Amino acid sequence: MSKKLIKIMATIALLVWGIGITGCSGISEEQVAELESLRAEVKALDTEIASLNNQKTSLEKEIAEKNARLDECAKLKAETQKNLEKLNR
């Protein structure tokens, strides 16, 4: 998890804990609204994390494909160089 997400989750946990401590007689509508807002923010961040993880996976796959192509090119270059050396003898 990113540091930003951890900080946000810690803030949410502290807010929820604070609401629990100070609101023993019940929570106000304002606190409920704030909690819902925080839940929506967490949900949005989770969605963003999933999207970024999908992007990362896609990029890793693309890199692997390009590396495989580079390996093929290196082998072809070596083979071509070897054949050129044979012709020059």
Distance, CA of 16 to CA of 4 (rounded, Å): 18
pLDDT tens profile 48-87: 999 999 999 999 999 999 999 999 999 999 999 999 999 9
Q: State how many domains the chain has.
A: 1
Q: What pLDDT does residue 68 have?
A: 98
Q: Is 27 helix (H, G, I), strand (E, B) or coil?
A: coil
48: left (phi over 0), alpha (psi -120 to 50) or beta: alpha
Read off the pLDDT band of 2 (50, 70, 90).
confident
Distance CA 8, CA 14 (A): 10
CA distance 6 to 8: 5
Per the structure, the complete domain to which residue 64 belongs is given by: 3-88
Higher model confidence: residue 59 or residue 22? 59
Residues whose CB falls within 8 Å of the CB of residue 9, separated by 6 or more in sequence, listed in order: 42
pTM recorded for the entire structure? 0.57
Average pLDDT of every residue of the chain: 88
pLDDT at 23 over 60: no
Distance between CA 1 and CA 8 in Å, rounded?
11
